[in-house]
A and B are shown apart, each in its own frame.
Chain A
Amino acid sequence: MKMCRIWQKLVIFLLIPIFLAIPVTPLSEEGGQRWEVLNPEGVIKIEPMKINPHPSTLEGKTVLLRWNGKHNGDKFLDRVGELLAQKVKGIKIIKSWEVAPETVDPISGSQERSIELMKKLAAFKPDLVIGSQAD
């Protein structure tokens, strides 16, 4: 009997540090565990880009139609170009796929390639660019 009590004391003695090592989690009134976690979303970091205002009239201006290669985008822009030519005096329409066919293929390409393409198209000095996105 005496031996048994000694063992009980020893077991309790050994368990105390284990209990102390377990962090005590505060319980809410409803008994749920309270969690503090780090936000996994991350902060958006974007450098602002300035966009030129559109011209106040298209008369006498140059409009570049930009096709990205997606099906029918060129046909859509073709019709827009026809209508612009009918409705607006002195407008000049440039079709990217005719003047710079190499700008058609990099669909879904990298940002670097997009910038390279835009530079090629900017060389035509358009007053406005109309791009067809599709699908």
Chain B
Amino acid sequence: MTIATTEFAGLAKDTALSQGVADGCFVTVSHPMGMIPLADIKEKAEKAFPQILKAAIEWKPVAKLPPQKPVYPAGRLEFKGTVEDINRQLYASGFSLGLPVIPPTPESVAAMLKGTNRKPDEVLGMVPPRMGALTVELVAIHAVMAGCKPEYMPVLIAALEGLLDPKANWRGATTTTATSAFLVIANGPIVDRIGIASRQGAAGSSHHANASIGYAVNLIAEIVGGSRPPSPDKSTLGGPADFVCWIFGENEDALPKGWEPFHVDRGFNRSDSVVTVMGIYPPVDNIDHWSVTPEEHINWWAHLVTPLLSIGGPAWITQMDQPHIVGLGPEHAQLLAGAGLNKDQFRKAFWEKARIPFSAWPKGSPNTDLLIRRFGPVKPETPIPITFKPEDFLIVIAGGSGKHSHFFAPFPGCFPVSRLVRK
């Protein structure tokens, strides 16, 4: 039996359905349960108790799942009117995010499929929370809608394969109340070959490959995965990365001497083309125009990330076991490398400095007990690290000139997943 509030009962039922439970046993109580006094929560329990007792002994499963249809080929839809009309109709049917799309005609999808050697009926996986079967044909449909070129298909497929890995926790990142989004980082020859931006303003506008691949990823998440607000996408506010996800190539040309690219750190060869994905919170911009020594810069890093309780381990302890991505701007990287620091020395120094006093955690957080178990007896001033180990600070050279770097904290349960780009 699951007890959920009125605001979250829909998500609970959708989640159960996506796991194969057509009619779980649910008891709904008025929203909210969190952040209310003890007397109020007890009253809610007492009010719901007769219903809980009844459901405990009387509930029986009755409903069955709807019959399953073949996943390939995609069905065909007919519309009449102008491009504007078809966009309105697609939006009304739940088949767009509200931004314009290019109608995926059979001809344009066939042309898009020429960008990959994968067979159109291949199923890459089921996209949560709706559990829509994602065929290569379906990827091509969304690639057309997003304006991709056929040569982008291998990168798009690699990104989706990464997100479909259970370690990526696609479900969590797209159904949470948080302003979470996907991050896609490309490495290797594919970056320049298809024009993925990796230098000035790489994650921003005016880069066709980034924009259309990032748009296609989110079209698939919302339409095939069904994660749309207000439910099952429960984002309290949401953000523009719900339209086009964070996507850029590592600026490998700006790697300091002796520093390996991100994908090499992750076990690939330098000549491999690799895509890495991760569910993230909005990044923190490290604005540092002033440091002239690594010590100053690392000190600034540490103070920037530690007070922001939503960006790392402090929010949920699960994040303390997860990699965080440090998107170092080339100028900040040069400051560190110029003084002789390698990646490991930087990450260790940063990690050792980035501490939060135990007293920062709200008393209601379950993390306090868990932290005590992990770190032993603690005092209010005991410094707690952002992650349990320094190796979980992953370093990527991100962007072009300027005194900015970015810190991408993972959404709970979302681990980075890397996939080779294959035609």
Q: Is A bound to B?
A: yes
On whether the beta carbons of A133 and B145 are closer than 8 Å, the reply is no
21 A–B contacts, CB within 8 A, in A order: A34-B80, A35-B81, A38-B75, A38-B76, A38-B137, A42-B133, A42-B138, A54-B55, A71-B365, A72-B34, A76-B3, A79-B45, A84-B53, A101-B370, A105-B370, A110-B169, A111-B171, A112-B167, A129-B1, A133-B5, A134-B8
**How far, in Å, is A104 (CB) from chain B's closest CB?**
5
On whether the beta carbons of A108 and B411 are closer than 8 Å, the reply is yes
On whether the beta carbons of B45 and A45 are closer than 8 Å, the reply is no
On whether the beta carbons of A108 and B82 are closer than 8 Å, the reply is no
Nearest-neighbor residue (CB-CB) of A83 within chain B: B49
Nearest-neighbor residue (CB-CB) of B367 within chain A: A105
On whether the beta carbons of A108 and B316 are closer than 8 Å, the reply is yes
> How many residues on chain A are close to B (CB under 8 Å)?
63
Q: Residue among B36, B123, B131 with the most chain A CB within 10 A?
A: B131
Which of chain A's residues 90-121 have a Cβ closer than 8 Å to chain B? Answer: 97, 101, 104-113
On whether the beta carbons of B65 and A46 are closer than 8 Å, the reply is yes
Give 9 nearest A-B pairs by CB, closest first: A49-B20, A79-B45, A42-B132, A71-B34, A109-B413, A133-B4, A39-B75, A45-B133, A42-B224
On whether the beta carbons of B59 and A54 are closer than 8 Å, the reply is yes
The proximity string for B residues 326-355 relative to A, scoring 1 for CB distances below 8 Å and 0 otherwise, is 000000000000000000000000000000
**How far, in Å, is B279 (CB) from chain A's closest CB?**
10
The proximity string for B residues 123-164 relative to A, scoring 1 for CB distances below 8 Å and 0 otherwise, is 100110011111101100110010000000000000000000
Chain B residues whose CB sits within 8 angstroms of the CB of A101 once the complex forms? 369-370, 373
**How far, in Å, is A86 (CB) from chain B's closest CB?**
10
Contacting residue for A40 out of B55, B58, B104, B167, CB 8 A: B104
On whether the beta carbons of A43 and B68 are closer than 8 Å, the reply is yes
On whether the beta carbons of A54 and B65 are closer than 8 Å, the reply is no
B253 within 8 Å of A (CB atoms): no
Chain A residues whose CB sits within 8 angstroms of the CB of B38 once the complex forms? 75
On whether the beta carbons of B172 and A135 are closer than 8 Å, the reply is no
**How far, in Å, is B169 (CB) from chain A's closest CB?**
5
Using A41-B95, A44-B132, A111-B171 as known contacts, say yes or no to A51 and B177 having CB atoms under 8 A apart: no
The proximity string for B residues 1-35 relative to A, scoring 1 for CB distances below 8 Å and 0 otherwise, is 11111011000100001111110110001011111
Contacting residue for A43 out of B2, B36, B42, B69, CB 8 A: B69
Which of chain B's residues 408-422 have a Cβ closer than 8 Å to chain A? Answer: 411-413
On whether the beta carbons of A48 and B20 are closer than 8 Å, the reply is yes
> How many residues on chain B are close to A (CB under 8 Å)?
103
On whether the beta carbons of A39 and B318 are closer than 8 Å, the reply is no
Q: Residue among A71, A110, A134 with the most chain B CB within 10 A?
A: A110
B229 within 8 Å of A (CB atoms): no
Using A45-B131, A48-B22, A105-B317 as known contacts, say yes or no to A38 and B74 having CB atoms under 8 A apart: yes
On whether the beta carbons of B24 and A51 are closer than 8 Å, the reply is yes
B381 within 8 Å of A (CB atoms): no
On whether the beta carbons of A46 and B318 are closer than 8 Å, the reply is no
**How far, in Å, is B369 (CB) from chain A's closest CB?**
7
Q: How far is the CA of A111 from the CA of B411 in the complex (A)?
A: 14
Q: How far is the CA of A73 from the CA of B29 in the complex (A)?
A: 12
On whether the beta carbons of B132 and A48 are closer than 8 Å, the reply is no
Which of chain B's residues 166-182 have a Cβ closer than 8 Å to chain A? Answer: 166-167, 169, 171-172, 176-177
**How far, in Å, is B84 (CB) from chain A's closest CB?**
11
On whether the beta carbons of B7 and A135 are closer than 8 Å, the reply is yes
B56 within 8 Å of A (CB atoms): yes
On whether the beta carbons of A130 and B3 are closer than 8 Å, the reply is yes
Q: How far is the CA of A77 from the CA of B49 in the complex (A)?
A: 10
On whether the beta carbons of A46 and B20 are closer than 8 Å, the reply is yes
Using A38-B104, A106-B318, A135-B34 as known contacts, say yes or no to A83 and B133 having CB atoms under 8 A apart: no
